[in-house]
């Protein structure tokens, strides 16, 4: 028996190498109620695929998963025969559940549990999302605010999980002023933390003077203390390598977003345990001015997996739309996995 603490389960129908959504039940079982999902193929995170399995849910939490789960009397039974049952999807950067774009300073104050995008997210199998908003300003390389939320329709108290889970950083080889500002402030914060450590380790506190914390460096200090990762957009191999130099110098955690050419430097990314966010079908023309490899490839995800890089997949658009070209926004998130598989990624990933 496998115990999981989840409130959402997604029921799906097989479609090509991925799965098209059928419906989401959220939450599946209220306090004091017992629900069983029986007869489906269960795609678990830790135990592979369980054919013709049963999931038992008590008080809104999964209490049992397997083929021989005893179902108590008066249990609400959902027939999942011919369907795939899997944990809810997690979306990165989805535009869901927030009102007041773009002038938001705290996600928790801007959540709307009745926003239409919340319904669309649930209908698409997305039960958790990292949401963000804001834009860079002037020479300041730090921007935006973010949070991890649950897509609980109609229940504001259940939505917010955690604020400020990453620190967006807008720097590249083309934005020298922001990059210079970032490095200078990181070194100032590094110097302060070094002096603070020396003060804290001093045996004679009476004669030691506690260093004064410089203003405006709180976010940089959080990065140096590895409390949050830096999230940097880096599409070219050169920008990726430049970002990795920051990991080498400051020993910070990092997420590379929009990493189209990550496949070129996958081994370097893996050495530093840096995470990557990619869109498998994103197009970028090769750079004809260089002799080495460049541009996009459908094999990006497969090459990253082989190198040992942990990555997340996003669609071309992070919005939820009911119009336009089908399969290019968050409502068809599993479709992106299909493109990654067609590029050589194994289906189990």
Same-domain pairing of 83 and 95 = no
Same-domain pairing of 191 and 316 = yes
Same-domain pairing of 189 and 262 = yes
Cα distance between residue 121 and residue 144, in whole Å: 22
- Tokens at residue 205, please? 């506190």
**Sequence-distant (≥ 6) Cβ neighbours of residue 221 within 8 angstroms:** 189, 192, 193, 213
Same-domain pairing of 139 and 226 = no
Q: In a 3-state reduction of DSSP, which class is residue 222?
A: helix
In the prediction, which pLDDT does 322 show? 80
Residue 348 lies in a domain: no
Q: In a 3-state reduction of DSSP, which class is residue 61?
A: strand
Torsion-angle region of 245 (φ positive above 0: left; ψ -120 to 50: alpha; else: beta)? alpha
- Among the candidates 87, 122, 145, a domain finishes at 87
Count of CB atoms situated within 10 Å of the CB of 309: 26
- Tokens at residue 325, please? 């070209």
Same-domain pairing of 337 and 235 = yes
With cut-offs at 50, 70 and 90, classify the pLDDT of residue 324: low
Q: In the Cβ-directed half-sphere of 159, how many Cα atoms lie within 13 Å? A: 24
Average pLDDT over the chain reads 87
Integer CA distances (angstroms), 133 to 101, 102, 261, 276, in order: 7, 6, 25, 19
Same-domain pairing of 23 and 159 = no
Residue 2 lies in a domain: no
How many whole angstroms from its chain centre is CA 264?
A: 22
- Is the Cβ–Cβ distance between 61 and 9 less than 8 Å? no
Residue 347 lies in a domain: no
Cα distance between residue 292 and residue 261, in whole Å: 12
Same-domain pairing of 81 and 30 = yes
Residue 227 lies in a domain: yes
Count of CB atoms situated within 10 Å of the CB of 305: 17
Task: Indicate whether 5 pLDDT > 60.
Answer: no
With cut-offs at 50, 70 and 90, classify the pLDDT of residue 323: confident
289 prior amide bond cis, ω within 30: no
- Tokens at residue 308, please? 């040992």
Same-domain pairing of 289 and 218 = yes
Using only C-alpha atoms, what is the Rg of the chain?
A: 23
Integer CA distances (angstroms), 213 to 181, 185, 279, 303, 324, in order: 18, 12, 40, 43, 51
Domain count for the chain? 3
Same-domain pairing of 37 and 113 = no
Same-domain pairing of 174 and 242 = yes
Task: Indicate whether 41 pLDDT > 90.
Answer: yes
Same-domain pairing of 310 and 183 = yes
According to DSSP, residue 83 is labeled -
Q: In a 3-state reduction of DSSP, which class is residue 131?
A: strand
Helices (H) and strands (E) in the chain, counts: 7, 16
Same-domain pairing of 175 and 250 = yes
Residue 281 lies in a domain: yes
Q: Is 99 exposed, middle or buried (0-12, 13-18, 19+ CB in 10 A)?
A: exposed
Q: In a 3-state reduction of DSSP, which class is residue 192?
A: helix
- Tokens at residue 330, please? 């968050």
Which domain, by its residues, includes 78? Answer: 9-87
- Tokens at residue 319, please? 């919005």
In the prediction, which pLDDT does 173 show? 78
Task: Indicate whether 169 pLDDT > 70.
Answer: yes
Percentage of residues in the chain having pLDDT higher than 90: 67
Task: Indicate whether 16 pLDDT > 70.
Answer: no
Cα distance between residue 194 and residue 184, in whole Å: 15
Residue 258 lies in a domain: yes
- Among the candidates 164, 190, 223, a domain finishes at 164
- Among the candidates 38, 60, 87, a domain finishes at 87
Q: In a 3-state reduction of DSSP, which class is residue 64?
A: strand
**327 or 153, greater pLDDT:** 153
């Amino acid at each position: 028996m496998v115990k999981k603490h989840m409130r959402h389960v997604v029921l799906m129908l097989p479609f090509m190498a991925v799965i098209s959504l059928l419906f989401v039940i959220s939450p599946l079982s209220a306090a004091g109620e017992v629900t069983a999902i029986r007869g489906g193929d269960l795609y678990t995170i830790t135990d592979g695929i369980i054919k013709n399995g049963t999931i038992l849910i008590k008080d809104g939490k999964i209490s049992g998963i397997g083929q021989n789960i005893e179902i108590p009397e008066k249990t609400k039974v959902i027939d999942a025969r011919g369907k795939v049952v899997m944990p809810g999807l997690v979306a990165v950067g989805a535009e869901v559940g927030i009102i007041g774009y773009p002038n938001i300073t705290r996600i928790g104050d801007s959540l709307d549990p009745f926003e239409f995008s919340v319904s669309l997210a649930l209908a698409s199998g997305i039960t958790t999302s990292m949401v963000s908003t804001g834009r860079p300003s002037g020479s300041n390389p730090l921007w935006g605010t973010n949070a991890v939320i649950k897509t609980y329709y109609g229940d504001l108290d259940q939505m917010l999980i955690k604020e400020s889970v990453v620190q967006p950083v807008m720097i590249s080889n083309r934005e020298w002023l922001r990059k210079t500002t970032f490095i200078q402030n990181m070194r100032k914060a590094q110097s302060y933390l070094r002096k603070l450590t020396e003060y804290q380790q001093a045996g004679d506190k009476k004669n030691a003077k506690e260093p004064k914390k410089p203003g405006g460096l709180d976010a940089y200090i959080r990065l140096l203390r590895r409390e949050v990762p830096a999230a940097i957009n880096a599409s070219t191999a050169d920008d990726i390598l430049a970002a990795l130099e920051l990991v080498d110098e400051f020993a910070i955690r990092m997420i590379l977003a929009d990493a189209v050419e990550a496949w070129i430097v996958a081994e370097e990314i893996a050495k530093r345990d840096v995470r990557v966010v990619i869109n498998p079908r994103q197009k970028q023309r090769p750079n004809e001015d260089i002799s080495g490899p460049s541009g996009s490839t459908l094999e990006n995800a497969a090459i990253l997996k082989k190198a040992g890089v942990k990555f997340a997949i996003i669609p071309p658009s992070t919005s939820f739309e009911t119009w336009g070209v089908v399969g290019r926004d968050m409502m068809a998130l599993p479709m992106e996995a299909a493109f990654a598989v067609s590029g050589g990624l194994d289906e189990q990933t």
